[in-house]
Structure 1
Amino acid sequence: MRSHARRCSEVAVRTDLQLAALIGGSPAIAAIRSEIDKIADADASVLITGPSGSGKDVVARLLHQKSRRAVRPFVALNCAAVPAELLESELFGHELGAFTGAVKARAGRFEAAHGGTLFLDEVGDMPAAMQAKLLRTLETRVIERVGGMLPITVDVRVVAATSVDLNAAIAAGRFRADLLYRLDVIHIAMPPLGERPDDVACLVQHFLSAAAHPARFTAAALEALAQQPWPGNVRELRNFVERACVHHSGEIIGREALAQLLRGAASPALPQPTRPNTIEPPRGAEAASLLSQNGVDLKQLLADLEQAYIREALALSGGTIARSARLLGLQRTTLIEKMRRMHIAVAE
């Protein structure tokens, strides 16, 4: 097997234009880099598919940065992170007084991206009504602000990404087939990290190079990391390396320390919740140990516990919102709204 240093040096990405880093030496990543070079200057829409955390946003930025549009804006919008009632305004803008709270006119993402690239992340979660309006815009390259009458022509390359199986969504009536045809002119499929273990060492070195107080992994530890499944993909690996640097700043991490990190031994365990049908009111000494004479702010206590569980679910899932929502028994959109309210970064 070639050395990690040699493999990583072979896949170095140009930095003179501050290109996004698509790190990896696997055949799959090499093929994607080659495809980006071929299609970068085309104006055709691009659909990037792949599991959450696999690097779809990196591909979108690299497409823009290698294109003739690189001197113009790259504008991104996570369609799943914007409430349905605000999505139209986010995309197309609004005029003064168009709705309650519209105290001034505002350009939307299409106008902001004029001459450049508009990246629509998680487009598979877009509401049906907005799918029809997006389709019309892709066909005409003309928008109208909410509450406005003036057509505005936009010159935008649309790059969309989704972790949803859009063909299955079409069969279920959740996504428009005609919109898929408009978006999927050029298709790039991002493989999960578990299918390209040779890229793990390069990614680890890349994340370590960006750390303020990096740790170091032995060759054996890097080999062990390459054998992990990484269901949260590159995002999970990045979070893992960050956690390793926090707990082992300036240290060398071998197999034993790695095993502890992978088990989550360095993270404090949260108390397990009691199932609702087994909760009983505390009695006697038990009551005294739970509630003092000064009382308790139950609302704040529950809010802190909810936030702790959300943060723990995000840590366990490598920051993957869909998987975190499943761990918590929540809808994905419900979790996103709770994270926004708690000021927890939405990194989907």
Structure 2
Amino acid sequence: MNTIPILCLAIGDRGQLDAAADALSGWTLCPVAGLSEARRALRLRPAAVGLLLFDDAPGGEDALDAFLREHWYMVWVAVFHPPALRVPVWRRLVQEHCWDFHTWPLDPVRLCHTLGHAQGMAALRGGPPGGDGAGAPGSPEHAAGTRCAPEGTLTGHSAAIVRLRSQIGKVAGASAPVLIWGESGSGKELVAKAVHLCSARAAGPFVPVNCGAMPASLIQSELFGYERGAFTGAARDKRGLIESAEGGSLFLDEIGDLPMELQANLLRFLQEGTICRVGATRSVAVNARVIAASHVQLQQAVQRGAFREDLYYRLNVLALDVPPLRERRDDVAALAEHFFQLYAAERAPRLRGFSARAMHLLREHDWPGNVRELINRVRRAMVMAEGRLISGPDLGLADAAAPPDGAPLGDARSRAERDAIDATLSRSGCNMTVAARELGVSRMTLYRLLAKHGMTPPSRAS
């Protein structure tokens, strides 16, 4: 008996579930009718393989398309009546989301063989994200660990990120201000959130403020609030962002961009724990921890006269340095997979992951834009990729070899593409199916590439 569960989803007539159960008597099925019931079942018990059962007149193709995109990691097998093959929308759904299909009436032997192969494919992919569900959002393990473990927000196991997690745990237990330094796009706000979530203030608000994004004319009233009648248009009292962080953490991103005249007001708040709204005659006490971040070295800004020295020393009590992505290359693959899952709804329907070559190029890239650049490249590749696997060109990455004899970059890329196709065909014994799979493209795309480079398709059957 096969004990690996298979989600058996009936779209339309629930009686289809009984027919499937009879044909698959030796299999462990999780029978559900409708997409809502399927989502509940998968939250409780993730499955790697799904069996889609369609009736004579299926409907709700948009909702089904969204559901299948949401559960892209599953290997789906469809069962429907032959006339459905004449309906373009259902042909497209099956082509884009399903690994194989059968028609009614069921052939138990053939269906068992198909599901066996589907489970093998699912095993190669590594199964559903989160494995058995432990630690997944909404699970007890996740709820218990969210506050005290920043692993959920900082992906990776490199020495640099492990060291940073350890520092976050120590810093979170104190109440002094925190100053985070890191290059643009390295994840400073994630680190600030991890400090907040690991602290005793986790139940309070986390209020982020981008000091470089607010106009200088508004930042005073936005940060400190104002009293009714303080200026034209001030029709009522308004709490500022600092007051909104009462009982929690105030995150001041790009603190180096804060105007000099406001740095004195912030220093007063750090020293005394009070603020004065615009137009007010009395101070207001605020209990909020300040976490500041900057992509410039504030000590150098102090030397240039662009940042107050006394404020710098008030902020720089507990310092954290966020490593750039080029210093944590061992985390690049895990981060890329994480973002692939996070933005799964945006991916091309047939896309299943990254090719080995693409992963190699990701690890070799220097990442001047850090994690933000990685996110952008992965999201763009998920939309633009034509094959089942993301390739280096999809990511906008290519081998770093210089073009010979000063040849234009386009010629060098074309030559590299031709060489890769030629080498892959040789390794596969001129088998177009195997070569296309290794290159991470469809067979049709491979034929188009052969025509583009004036290469003759292999004569052997493939």
Deviation at 1:218, TM superposition (A): 1.8
Residue in structure 1 matching 2:389, options 249, 252, 260: 252
Quote the residue 2:262 is aligned against.
130
Asked whether the 8 Å contact 1:79–1:123 carries over to 2, the reply is yes
Judged with a 3 Å threshold, the aligned counterparts in structure 2 of structure 1 residues 145 and 250 are, in CA distance, closer, same or farther, namely: farther
Quote the residue 1:28 is aligned against.
160
Residue in structure 2 matching 1:261, options 390, 395, 401: 395
Quote the residue 1:331 is aligned against.
none
Asked whether the 8 Å contact 1:213–1:250 carries over to 2, the reply is no
Residue in structure 2 matching 1:60, options 177, 192, 201: 192
Q: What secondary structure does 1:69 align onto?
A: coil
Quote the residue 1:190 is aligned against.
322
Matches within 5 A, 1:262-301: 262=396
Judged with a 3 Å threshold, the aligned counterparts in structure 2 of structure 1 residues 85 and 213 are, in CA distance, closer, same or farther, namely: closer
Deviation at 1:261, TM superposition (A): 3.3
Q: Does 1:15 pair with 2:147?
A: no
Residue in structure 2 matching 1:148, options 253, 277, 280: 280
Residue deviations 1:132-190 (CA, integer Å, cap 9, x gap): 11011100001111111121111111000000111111111000111110101000001
Quote the residue 1:222 is aligned against.
359
Cα distance in structure 1, aligned partners of 2:184 and 2:305: 22
Cα distance in structure 2, aligned partners of 1:78 and 1:53: 14
Quote the residue 1:166 is aligned against.
298
Cα distance in structure 2, aligned partners of 1:217 and 1:108: 46
Cα distance in structure 2, aligned partners of 1:89 and 1:223: 49
Q: Does 1:177 pair with 2:304?
A: no
Residue deviations 1:208-247 (CA, integer Å, cap 9, x gap): 1111144410233112101111111001101111111111
Asked whether the 8 Å contact 2:246–2:287 carries over to 1, the reply is yes
Deviation at 1:249, TM superposition (A): 7.4
More strand per residue: 1 or 2? 2
Structure 2 segments unaligned to the other structure (5+ residues)? 1-125, 399-462
Quote the residue 1:233 is aligned against.
370
Asked whether the 8 Å contact 2:206–2:248 carries over to 1, the reply is yes
Q: What amino acid is the match of 2:358?
A: A
Q: What value does the CA root-mean-square deviation take over the aligned residues?
A: 2.3
Judged with a 3 Å threshold, the aligned counterparts in structure 2 of structure 1 residues 249 and 158 are, in CA distance, closer, same or farther, namely: farther
Judged with a 3 Å threshold, the aligned counterparts in structure 2 of structure 1 residues 155 and 249 are, in CA distance, closer, same or farther, namely: farther
Identity of aligned residues (%): 48
Residue deviations 1:7-43 (CA, integer Å, cap 9, x gap): x99xx89732386511111111101101111121211
Judged with a 3 Å threshold, the aligned counterparts in structure 2 of structure 1 residues 213 and 87 are, in CA distance, closer, same or farther, namely: closer
Instruction: Give the alignment's TM-score, normalised by structure 2.
Output: 0.52
Quote the residue 1:112 is aligned against.
244
Quote the residue 2:203 is aligned against.
71
Structure 1 segments unaligned to the other structure (5+ residues)? 265-348
Cα distance in structure 2, aligned partners of 1:139 and 1:195: 36
Cα distance in structure 1, aligned partners of 2:268 and 2:191: 26
Q: What amino acid is the match of 1:143?
A: I
Cα distance in structure 1, aligned partners of 2:395 and 2:274: 52
Runs of 4+ in structure 1 off by over 4 angstroms are none
Q: What amino acid is the match of 1:84?
A: A
Cα distance in structure 1, aligned partners of 2:304 and 2:235: 39
Asked whether the 8 Å contact 1:76–1:118 carries over to 2, the reply is yes
Residue deviations 1:72-109 (CA, integer Å, cap 9, x gap): 10001000000111111111111112122222211011
Asked whether the 8 Å contact 2:384–2:394 carries over to 1, the reply is no
Cα distance in structure 2, aligned partners of 1:225 and 1:138: 42
Cα distance in structure 2, aligned partners of 1:250 and 1:70: 44
Matches within 5 A, 1:29-44: 29-44=161-176
Asked whether the 8 Å contact 2:225–2:239 carries over to 1, the reply is yes
Q: What amino acid is the match of 2:316?
A: D
Cα distance in structure 2, aligned partners of 1:242 and 1:249: 14
Judged with a 3 Å threshold, the aligned counterparts in structure 2 of structure 1 residues 258 and 113 are, in CA distance, closer, same or farther, namely: same
Q: What secondary structure does 2:208 align onto?
A: strand
Q: What amino acid is the match of 1:199?
A: D
Q: What amino acid is the match of 2:392?
A: L
Q: What amino acid is the match of 1:258?
A: G
Larger radius of gyration: 2
Q: What amino acid is the match of 1:131?
A: Q
Q: What amino acid is the match of 2:273?
A: R
Instruction: Give the alignment's TM-score, normalised by structure 1.
Output: 0.69
Q: What secondary structure does 1:15 align onto?
A: helix
Q: What amino acid is the match of 2:365?
A: Q
Cα distance in structure 2, aligned partners of 1:227 and 1:43: 40
Cα distance in structure 2, aligned partners of 1:120 and 1:238: 23
Cα distance in structure 1, aligned partners of 2:201 and 2:228: 31
Deviation at 1:251, TM superposition (A): 2.3
Q: What secondary structure does 2:235 align onto?
A: coil
Deviation at 1:259, TM superposition (A): 2.5
